[in-house]
């Protein structure tokens, strides 16, 4: 009964209190010095996995989502990337930006061809109007395959050659 009536010690000085990571506060860093990065090094495969956003099948919107995700991933893991990881992320961002540009150009070509050739009569399937959309479908399929294959290779520490990528981001 005495334990209910006697005040119990509590607080950070209590020796019976469990020592948790929340109790240990690191000392403040001097101005201009960055905190050390903890955790395993990052391979950069996440930048390629953003390419699966193309499965949304909304041409420019899904491309913008993929580019934003890859750039955000690049900014978030920049300090933990291995040297190969930096190259992997750079190539992934370059490919996603290139694919966004290619998609915009193909959609613009499709609209121009549609306005040029469309009339009251039906347009045959093998017309120039369907060529731009066919190329867009091939571009999306190539982007998905490249993203999956490159992400798998990046998780093993390898770099994939990205055919067709414009070097927007340099080393």
Nearest Cα neighbor of 66 from 102, 96, 38 is 96
SS3 category, 10: coil
Residue 12 pLDDT class (50, 70, 90 cuts)? low
DSSP bridge partners of 81: 42
Q: 10 Å Cβ neighbour count for 91?
A: 23
> Per-residue DSSP letters for 61-125?
HHHHHHHHHHHHHHHHSGGGB-HHHHHHHHHHHHHHHHHHHHHHHHHHHHHHHHHHH--SSPPPT
Q: Which of 11-15, 20-24, 45-49, 161-165 has the highest mean pLDDT?
A: 161-165
Model-wide pTM > 0.75: no
Give the C-alpha separation, 106 to 129, whole Å: 11
The tens digit of pLDDT for each residue in 40-70 reads: 677 888 888 888 877 777 778 888 888 898 8
Q: Where are the domains of the chain?
A: 44-155
SS3 category, 130: helix
The tens digit of pLDDT for each residue in 87-109 reads: 999 999 999 999 999 999 998 98
Structure tokens at 167: 């070097």
Hey, what's the torsion of the CAs at 91, 95, 98, 103, to 10 degrees?
-170
């Amino acid at each position: 009964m005495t334990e209910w009536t006697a005040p119990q010690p509590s607080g950070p000085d209590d020796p019976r209190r469990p020592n948790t990571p929340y109790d240990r506060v690191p000392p403040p860093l001097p101005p201009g010095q960055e905190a050390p990065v903890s955790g395993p090094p990052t391979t950069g495969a996440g930048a390629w996995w953003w390419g699966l956003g193309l499965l949304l099948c909304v041409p420019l919107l899904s491309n913008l989502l993929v580019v934003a995700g890859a750039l955000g991933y690049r900014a978030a893991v920049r300090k933990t990337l291995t040297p190969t990881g930096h190259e992997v992320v750079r190539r992934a961002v370059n490919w996603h930006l290139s694919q966004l540009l290619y998609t915009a150009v193909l959609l613009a070509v499709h609209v121009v061809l549609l306005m040029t050739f469309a009339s009251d009569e039906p347009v045959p399937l093998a017309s120039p109007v369907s060529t731009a959309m066919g190329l867009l479908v091939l571009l999306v399929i190539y982007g998905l395959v490249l993203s999956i294959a490159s992400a798998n290779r990046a998780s093993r520490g390898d770099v994939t050659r990205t055919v067709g990528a414009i070097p927007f981001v340099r080393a």
